[in-house]
Amino acid sequence: MKKFIPIAEPLFDGNELKYLTDCIETGWISSIGSYVTRFETEFASYIGCKYGVAVHTGTAALHLALAALRVGPGDEVIIPDLTFAATANAVLYTGARPVLVDVEKDTWNIRPEAIRQAITDRTKAVIPVHLYGHPCDMDEIMKVAREHGLFVIEDAAEAHGAEYKGKRVGSFGTISCFSFFGNKTITTGEGGICLSDDEALLERIAKLRDHGMNKDKKYWHDEAGFNYRMTNLQAAVGVAQLERIDWFVNRKREIARLYNQYLADVKNIVLPMEKDWAKNTYWMYTFLLKTGQSQISRDDLIDALKREGIDSRPVFYPLHSMPPYEVAGRFVNAEAISEAGLSLPSSPTLRKEEIREIAEVLKRQVKGR
C-alpha cells in the first residue's frame, strides 16, 4: 500500500466554507455571533436537551460542568480507570480527587457496581464516559446516583449520536459534555459543549465561561471565572457539520460494519461489541488482540501496520498507571483492554476498498506467524 491512511481526518464537504466566509465578511469572528447561538440550540435539540453552552474544548466543558456544580477541594468524583486523561484532568483542576474504578469487560465502560462500591461521604459526582461511542449502562448509573444523591456528568466526547435504549447519550445526566476536536464524529477544530435541562445551571456555566461576569452588569465579576468561550468561526464549522450529523454517524456505523465483516473470521481478535440496548457510533473502530494466542504483540502490530502505510492507535493507558493519577490496586479489565486494544483508521472519508485492504493487511499480520 503506497499511500498513508491516517487514523482520522475531518471531512468538510457541506456549508463549512460558506459559513466561515460569512463570519469573515461580516467581521463576527470572535465569541459573539449568530453561529454560536445556533450551534448551541441545534446541538442541544439534536441530543434531546433543552439548553447548551458552547466552549472552546471538551476539556473546558468538563471543567465548567464540575465548577458549576461547585465540586471542589475535599470532594471526590468517581470516573472510569479507562478513559482519555481529560476526564481526570478536569476533576483535578477543581481541586477534587478523581476516584478511579474499573470498567466492564465487554462494553469497556464504567461498571455501575464499581461506582456503588467506591462511594464515600465525600463523593459528589460520577462521570460515566461513553468510550469509543458505546453507551454506558445509564439506567443502572442513574439509579446508583439517585440513591446516593450524586450528580452525573456524562462525558460524551466520543459518542455523538450514540443511543441508550433509543435515547441519545448526553440526555441522561445532570450535565453532559461533548468534544468537537478534529478527530471527533463532527468537529469544530477544537471545541466542546455543555448540555442540560437545568436552565439555572447552564446560566451559571455561561457565566463561568465568560470570566464569571454578571450578564446584566458589564465588567462586574460575581466570581472568578474562565475564558472558555467558543468562537463564531468554530461554531460556523459546527453548524455546517451538524447539518450532516446523521450522515457522519451512519458513516461510522457503516465503517464498523465493513470492518466487522472483513475481520469476522480472524480467530485471535475480539471485535467491538454492541449491546442489544445500544446504538454504538464507533467513534474509532477498536478491537482487542487476544493476548497469548496471537503470535504478534499489539505494539508490533502497530509497527507492522505502519510499515504498510496504515495508521493505528493503542487504547488509552489505564489512568491509575500514570504519575498524575497513580493509585495502587488492580483494575483488571481496564488493564487487559488497554494492553490488547487497537484502533484502526475510522475517517468518514475512508473508501470500502481501503477498509478491505486494511483488514487484509491485519489478517496477514495476525495469522501469518
Ligand X SMILES: Cc1ncc(COP(=O)(O)O)c(C=O)c1O
Which residues of the shown chain bind ligand X in the complex (CB under 6 A)? 57-59, 83-84, 86-87, 129, 155, 157-158, 179, 181, 192
Burial category of 167 from C-beta neighbours within 10 Å (exposed 0-12, middle 13-18, buried 19 and up): middle
For 347, the grid coordinates are: 475517517
CB of 122 to ligand X, least distance (A): 23
286: part of which helix (H) or strand (E)? strand 285-289
Strand partners, 278: 164
Question: Judged by CB, which is closer to ligand X: 36, or 304?
Answer: 36
> What is the side-by-side order of every strand in the sheet holding 76-80?
51-55, 192-196, 175-179, 151-155, 123-126, 76-80, 97-101
Residue whose cell numbers read 499480520: 365
CB of 265 to ligand X, least distance (A): 31
Question: Judged by CB, which is closer to ligand X: 59, or 123?
Answer: 59
Question: Judged by CB, which is closer to ligand X: 154, or 163?
Answer: 154
Question: Judged by CB, which is closer to ligand X: 154, or 274?
Answer: 154
Question: Judged by CB, which is closer to ligand X: 187, or 232?
Answer: 187
- DSSP 8-state class, residue 351: -
Question: Judged by CB, which is closer to ligand X: 19, or 84?
Answer: 84
Task: Determine the angle formed by the axes of helices 232-242 and 34-47, rounding to 10 degrees.
Answer: 40
CB of 226 to ligand X, least distance (A): 14
CB of 84 to ligand X, least distance (A): 4
Cα within 13 Å of Cα(209), Cβ side: 29
CB of 182 to ligand X, least distance (A): 9
Name 140's Cβ contacts closer than 8 Å, sequence gap at least 6: 112
Q: Which of 162, 161, 191, 168 is nearest to 35 (CA)?
A: 191
CB of 66 to ligand X, least distance (A): 13
Residue sitting closest to ligand X (CB): 58
Is residue 255 within 8 Å of residue 284, measured between CB atoms? no
Question: Judged by CB, which is closer to ligand X: 46, or 84?
Answer: 84
For 297, the grid coordinates are: 504483540
CB of 359 to ligand X, least distance (A): 25
For 220, the grid coordinates are: 462586574
Question: Judged by CB, which is closer to ligand X: 76, or 155?
Answer: 155
CB of 334 to ligand X, least distance (A): 14
Question: Judged by CB, which is closer to ligand X: 131, or 359?
Answer: 131
Q: Radius of gyration of the chain from Cα atoms?
A: 21
Burial 85-101 (b: 16+ CB within 10 A, else e): ebbbbbbebbebbbbbb
3-state SS assignment for residue 54: strand
CA distance 364 to 321: 32
CB of 61 to ligand X, least distance (A): 8
Polymer length of the chain: 369
